[in-house]
Amino acid sequence: MAKTGGILLCAGFGSRLAPLTEVVPKPAIPFCGVPMAHYARAALERAGVAEMGMNVHHLPERMIEAMDGGRWMDRAREMHISREEGGILGTGGGAARLAGMMPDCDRFVIYHGDVLCGADISEALESHIASGAKVSLVVLPRPEAVRENVRQSLGMIGVVDHEIVCIRDWYKNDCIIEFSPRCFSGIHIVERGVLEAIADRGSVCLVTEVYREMLDRGEAIHACEPSGAVYFADVGTPATYLSAQRACLRSREYGDGPGLPVLCEGKTLYDRGDPSVSFGAVNIGDQVRIEGNVCLNPGASVSGDVSLQDEMVCAEGGIKPDGAWICGGAARAR
């Protein structure tokens, strides 16, 4: 029986989220109190992957520490860790190296560690296998904000009858046709042979190089679209990072949004303690020790002698990692 492996891509620099990512790797940044890559790991676990691997490069020890020392299945199993020490290998090179560490797996779900998406990976795998394609991408409807300019970033994908015919400005067989615009979720399903074919190419990007070459050759790339609405968030900048958390928490509290990411579906969003969450002004009294993560509205005010431990606070338009407030690109003492 064919085995599926899970690959977490966690080696990127997250430059758009700087200066926060100067001290915390982007996939390790807490989202509602849980490192973002935990959502990807949980989604792969729920899909029943046989093995799991993760690549690291930027702040590698911090990234591994955030993933429970490189473990999964409630710390019962070890991940394969690929340390890209000589230079970043890109999505393709990084995935190909990890595929080599999992020789018993026939296909791989490649999941960007900073992706926040509620898509059902088991459903996507069924769709991929039924299609017979070598590559499938999980795609989602285009957000309203980018529909007028479908060439804009956020991974523009053109779909016709569940087949991808356009990625950005590259068309299958170089034929420009009408299509339904979608965006790429950051989740790929790739057969082993595709990754083995690029194993010797060093640094290579799956989207801009491998998939573009497949379109040029007229090869099929399948589009897996969730059967229902799912949660999806772009957390590329500090502003979208804050707004995405607010939307996620609001959806949980008021039920006014699509399904939340795995780990947000249960009763507790935070990994320990009762969180303090506010979307307005808040006063935290004298000598208060906050044991869990805290997400405050950018306009909130914090007063009093506050002792903070192992958490991230979003307040006053800034982000506080490791004891240094970051606001408007500059760190300041608090």
Q: Amino acid identity, residue 260?
A: L
Average of pLDDT values for 288-295?
A: 38
Q: Whole-angstrom distance between the N-terminal and C-terminal Cα of the chain? A: 57
| CA pair distance 303, 86, nearest whole angstrom | 46
Q: Amino acid identity, residue 36?
A: M
Confidence of residue 231 (pLDDT cuts 50, 70, 90): confident
The pair of structure tokens assigned to 111 is 């999941």
| CA pair distance 252, 170, nearest whole angstrom | 39
pLDDT in tens, 49-62: 999 999 999 999 99
Q: How would you classify residue 201: left for phi > 0, otherwise alpha for psi between -120 and 50, otherwise beta?
A: alpha
CA distances to 14, 41, 96 from 35, in Å: 14, 10, 25
Residue 115 has pLDDT above 50, yes or no: yes
Full set of structural domains in the chain with CATH: 4-233 (3.90.550.10)
| CA pair distance 331, 29, nearest whole angstrom | 17
| CA pair distance 84, 13, nearest whole angstrom | 12
Element (H, E) at 124: helix 121-131
Are 152 and 211 in contact by the 8 Å Cβ rule? The answer is no
The pair of structure tokens assigned to 135 is 């590559």
| CA pair distance 91, 187, nearest whole angstrom | 11
Q: For the whole prediction, is pTM greater than 0.95?
A: no
The pair of structure tokens assigned to 62 is 């911090």
pLDDT over 90 percentage in the chain: 47
